[in-house]
Structure 1
Amino acid sequence: MSELSRAERRQRTERRILDTARELFAQRGFERTTIRAVAQAAEVDPALVMQYYGSKQRLFDAAVRVAEPPAGEAGPEELIEELLGSLDVKLGELPPASLAMMRSMLTHPEAAASARGVLGRQIERVGRSLPGERARLRAALMTMIMLGVAVGHQLLELDELRDVPPEDIARLLRPCLQALSEG
């Protein structure tokens, strides 16, 4: 068995720090997650976390970064199917990055700035698929409806959202999203 190169060890360490940060930000939120706690849980020195990321804010930004969907231009119907299809994920076990952002975005200004960036890109992508006037506003409303459902289910644990299958929620949301997509 060959030993890992220095670059491979560095990459594994950085990945371990980032995975640990995602878990802690998801569990504790931005305010209660410290560089020291991340370092301890990742079994590294706090100085190493700072060397890789420079600040808690940059660590958070890296932790909540999610892969963007392909930039293809979907039509309104395909867009609605994509949004409603994502409910299974949003109402299931969310990735730690998504949970971390949701938990922190309402309580910390820097986390809110990160969320605005992610949501802004989502709104831009959705808006490109909508015909007619005020596409960006309609895209923002569609995006925030989906976020609201996820927050109600994941963070507020509303029984009304947790006691029904995602398909039922999707069926009820469809007319609303269709109306917004048409302008």
Structure 2
Amino acid sequence: MGADEPRVSRAERRRRTEARILDAARESFARSGYDRTTIRAVAAAAGTDPGLVMRYFGSKERLFALVAELSPDEPLAGPAEDVAELLLRSLAEKLRGEQTGTLAMLRSMLTHPEAGREVRAAISEQQRQVAAAIPAPDADLRAALVGAVTLGAVIGRDLLRLDGLSDAAAEDVVDVLRPAVHAIVGEID
């Protein structure tokens, strides 16, 4: 450490190490899925010891849960058209953002039962929130369909890399889906 460099506290060093471990885990789960990701590989990629990974995160399951965590979306409220636009804005953000956490979640949920249960629980909670904001008697079905459309767009773009979708701008994808999402969310007379 040079004379001009400030001393880094132990807490700051730990925070930086945890961040490196989470970044390495996110990349590994996204690339290799749950079953083929190992604590040793994550530690090596993070430039640390496997024992430290276990000390900070406790288990591979806990590490996965943190890196694949579904971030909460904006609270949903208002008329159907506002709810539809909030959902479309959330989809655009997912399509524009860094996808390693999403890819980790998608790959792992398909190959590991525990990961699948965690992802289903998080998605189910999001669907309950969407259903509560949809003014229709079949709100649960409509929320599930919006979720399926969103999940399908993300999987098709980032995991399957479908032609036409993988290189499309997030705004273009949202613009094409807008009428469908509004029709699903809004009450049809």
Whether 1:151 and 2:155 are equivalent positions in the alignment is yes
Unmatched tracts of structure 2, length 5 or more:
none
C-alpha contact (below 8 Å) 2:81/2:186 kept by paired residues? no
Percent same amino acid among aligned pairs?
47
Return the TM-score normalized by structure 1: 0.88
Instruction: State which of 99, 123, 130 in structure 2 corresponds to 1:126.
Output: 130
CA distance in 1, matches of 2:50, 2:113: 24
TM-score (norm 2): 0.85
Aligned length: 183
Q: Is the 8 A contact 2:76 2:133 kept in 1?
A: no
Query: Cα RMSD between the aligned structures?
Result: 2.1
Q: Could you say what secondary structure the match of 2:66 adopts?
A: helix
1:85 Cα deviation from its structure 2 partner: 2.9
Aligned pair in 2 of structure 1 residues 94, 15: CA closer, same or farther (>3 Å)? closer
Q: What are the equivalent positions in structure 2 for 1:1-183 lying under 5 Å apart?
A: 1-92=5-96, 94-162=98-166, 164-183=168-187
Cα shift at 1:10 = 1.4
- Runs (5+) with no aligned partner, structure 1: none
The 1:173–1:8 alpha-carbon spacing in structure 2 relative to 1, beyond 3 Å, is same
Q: Deviation per CA, 1:137-163, whole angstroms, max 9, x where unpaired?
A: 211111111101111121112114236
